[in-house]
Structure 1
Amino acid sequence: MTAPRRPVAVLGECVADAFVAPQATDAAEGPGLRLDVLPGGGPANTAVALARLGTPTHLVARLSGDVFGGLFRRRLAESGVRTDLCPDATEPSTLAVAGLGPDGAAEYSFHAENTADWQWTRAELAPVAAARPAHLHTGSLALVRAPGAAAVEELLAELRPTTTISLDPNVRPLLVAPAAYRARLPRWCALADLLRLSEDDLAHLHPGLAPETACDTWHRLGVPLVVVTLGGAGALVSYDGIREHVPAPPVRVVDTVGAGDAFTAGLLHRLHQAGALGGRLDTLTPALLREAVAFGTTVAAATCAVRGANPPYAHELTSSIT
C-alpha cells in the first residue's frame, strides 16, 4: 500500500472582505452604504482552494474570536481545511473594504492595525514544524508586517531541509510600502523553491522591468522556479532560466478576487499529486511543470467566473482536467 503523502500547509492571514453592495433604488431605505462581507485573505483563499481540490491542507492562521473569526472558521471547515495549527487570537480580525473597478478587479482599503494576523510568535509556530508538511506556502502580509514577520522567516529556515517552500509576495502598497518587500526579496529567494507573483506585484517591485529580466534576478538570488501570472494572458514560467508561456483558458470574468490564490492552489495540487513536493523540486520535469501551471490557470479561470474568492471543488471541473 502506498503511504499517504504528507500534507500541505499554508501560512498567513484571514481577511474579512467587505464588498460594496449595489446602490438601492428604494428611496425609503435612506442614505447609507451596504456591505456584503465574505471570508477572504490570500493565504486562506489558497488553503480553501487546495482543500476543495482534494489536497490534505492545514491553514496556519491566527483566528480571532470575533464575528469575522467565526465566519472564517465556518468556511474553512466546510471546505475541508484543517485548522488544528491555528492558535486562538484575542485581537480583532483584519477587514478589507473592496469596490470593483470596471474590469472586475478589486480596489481595497484596509483596516489592519493591531489585528490578529500579524502577531505571530515562535511558540505559536512550533507545531507547524512538528506536523512535517511536504510543502509550506506563505507570503502576502505575513512576511512583511511586524511583529510576526521575523518569526515566519525563522520557521521557513527551520522547515527548509525537508519541506518545499513557496512564496507569494501579494504586494499591498496601501499597507506596506513596496520598498519593504523589495528589501526582503533576497532573503525570501534564498529560502524558497517557488516564487509566484502577479504582473501587478512585478510592477510594484520592479517598475518597468520585463518579467524575463526579473526572473533572472530572482534566480540569481537562489529561487529555482518563478511563475508570473499575467491575468487572461496566462502565465510566464521560468525554471532555472528555461522559460515558457502557458496560456489561460477563456472565461467570462465576474471578478478577479482570489484568482491568483486559486492559481497557486491548482499548481501546488498538481505537484502534490505527482509526489514532487517535499524537497527541492528534484523530480520536477518540464512536462509536469507545464501541466501543473495549465491546471492552475484552469482553477483561476473558474474562480474568475463567480463572485468573490469562491474557488471550485474538484468535481466542478471537467473530468478531462482533474
Structure 2
Amino acid sequence: MMLVVGESIVDVVQRPDGTVTEHAGGSPANVAVGLARLGLETTLASTIGQDDHGALIRMQLADAGVRLMEGLAVPERTATSTAVLDDEGTPSYTFDLTWAPGPIPADLAPDAVHVGSIAAFLQPGSDDVEDLLRRVAPTSVVTFDPNIRPAMLPAREQVLAHLRQIVPLTDVVQTSLDDLEWLAPGVDPGVVARRWLEAGPAAVIVTMGARGARIHTPWGSIMVPAAPARVVDTVGAGDAHLAGLLSALDDEATLGPDGASELRMVDLAFWRRVGTVAARAAAIAVARPGSQPPWRDELYD
C-alpha cells in the first residue's frame, strides 16, 4: 500500500488565450492519483473542505481509486492554486492554502510513503509530517519532492531548516532545476545532489524538463532523456514522473520493509530502467491539459 501525505488543491488554469479551467490538483494529490491509476493501492492523507472545490477533488480521487484518510482536520475552504501559463505552456503559480492536518496515523504499514511540496514546509502541518516520517522511515520506503512554490512558503531559512530534517529520513528525493535554484542559488545541481546523498538517501533525481532527468546515486550518476512528447502544458509533469518512478520501484520489488536497504545496493542500470518508466509517465501527462497522469494500460502498452 502507498501512503501519500500533503495538500490537495484545485488548480485554476489561465491560458494565454484567456480561457480558464479548473482541475483537481496539488502535487501530493496528483502523485496519489497517478499511483492509483497505475494500479497501486493508495491512501492520501490530506485536508479537503466541504465546498464545491472539495467535491471536485473528491471526485477525482474516487475516479482514480484513491482512498482518503479519515480523521484529519477539515479546513473552512479547499485550497486553490492559480496557474498562469505562458506561450510555451510553463506555469507561474499563486496559492490560497492552509495546511493543518493534525496528527497523521501511521498504523497502515505502507510499502512506501511519499511527501512533498507545501505540506513539507508550511506550519503547523509540517511538524506533523516530520513526525510521521520519523515513525515510518524504519519500515517504509520514503520519497520526497520539495516542489518549491515560493508564494506559499515561509522564509528560505525556515524551508532549509525543514529540509535538513526531512532529507535524512528519505530514500529517494526528486527535485527540479527550478527548486534547486531557489533552495541553493548559484550552486551546481550536482553539488547539491551529492550533499543530500551524504545525508542518507539512496538516490537524488533532478528533473530538467525537456532534457530529461539526472539520477544521482552514491555509485555515480546517469542522465535519463525525456520521452518524446507533444507538450500541451507541464502542469503535474513532475508528479506523473514520480508516480511512474514509484510504480517501477514496485515492479522491481524494491518497496516495503526491505526496500530501503535494497535501493542502496542497486546499480545504475536499475536506475536507468525505473527512470525510463518515469520519463514515459511524464511524457503522457504533458500531452494533455491539467494534471492528468497516465493509467497503467497507457504507460505499459
Q: Please indicate the TM-score interval, normalised by the length of the shorter structure.
A: over 0.9
Deviation, structure 1 residue 104:
0.8
Encode CA deviations 1:109-152: one digit per residue, 9 max, x unaligned.
1122xx3xx11212xx12xx111101100010111111111111
- Measure, in 1, the Cα distance between the counterparts of 2:256 and 2:159: 26
Q: How does 1:36-47 map to 2 (within 5 A)?
A: 36-47=21-32
Q: If the length of structure 2 is used for normalisation, what is the TM-score?
A: 0.93
- Measure, in 1, the Cα distance between the counterparts of 2:92 and 2:243: 23
Q: How does 1:43-54 map to 2 (within 5 A)?
A: 43-54=28-39
- Measure, in 1, the Cα distance between the counterparts of 2:270 and 2:20: 42
What amino acid sits opposite 1:70 in the alignment?
A
Question: Between the two proteins, what is the percent identity of the paired residues?
Answer: 37
The residue number in structure 1 matching 2:131 is 154
The residue number in structure 1 matching 2:215 is 237
Deviation, structure 1 residue 94:
0.9
The residue number in structure 1 matching 2:142 is 165
Q: How does 1:65-144 map to 2 (within 5 A)?
A: 65-85=50-70, 87=72, 89-112=74-97, 115=98, 118-122=99-103, 125-126=104-105, 129-144=106-121
- Measure, in 1, the Cα distance between the counterparts of 2:300 and 2:129: 37
What amino acid sits opposite 1:82 in the alignment?
R
Q: How does 1:260-275 map to 2 (within 5 A)?
A: 260-275=238-253
Tell me which stretches of 4 or more aligned residues in structure 1 moved more than 4 Å.
21-24
SS in 2 for 1:179: helix
Deviation, structure 1 residue 247:
0.9
The residue number in structure 2 matching 1:20 is 14
Q: Is the 8 A contact 1:61 1:86 kept in 2?
A: no
Q: How many residues align structurally?
A: 296
- Measure, in 1, the Cα distance between the counterparts of 2:70 and 2:57: 14
- Measure, in 2, the Cα distance between the counterparts of 1:184 and 1:84: 24
What amino acid sits opposite 2:33 in the alignment?
V
- Measure, in 2, the Cα distance between the counterparts of 1:278 and 1:268: 12
SS in 1 for 2:231: coil
- Measure, in 2, the Cα distance between the counterparts of 1:150 and 1:318: 38
- Measure, in 2, the Cα distance between the counterparts of 1:264 and 1:272: 12
Relative to structure 1, the CA distance from residue 67 to residue 148 in structure 2 (aligned partners, 3 Å threshold; closer, same or farther) is same
Deviation, structure 1 residue 248:
1.1
Of 41, 59, 67, the match for 2:44: 59
The residue number in structure 1 matching 2:295 is 313
Deviation, structure 1 residue 318:
5.1
Q: Is the 8 A contact 1:120 1:152 kept in 2?
A: no
Deviation, structure 1 residue 191:
0.8
Relative to structure 1, the CA distance from residue 273 to residue 265 in structure 2 (aligned partners, 3 Å threshold; closer, same or farther) is same
Deviation, structure 1 residue 175:
1.3
Q: Give the gaps of 5 or more residues in structure 2.
A: none
Q: Is the 8 A contact 1:142 1:152 kept in 2?
A: yes
What amino acid sits opposite 1:191 in the alignment?
L
The residue number in structure 1 matching 2:286 is 304
Q: If the length of structure 1 is used for normalisation, what is the TM-score?
A: 0.87
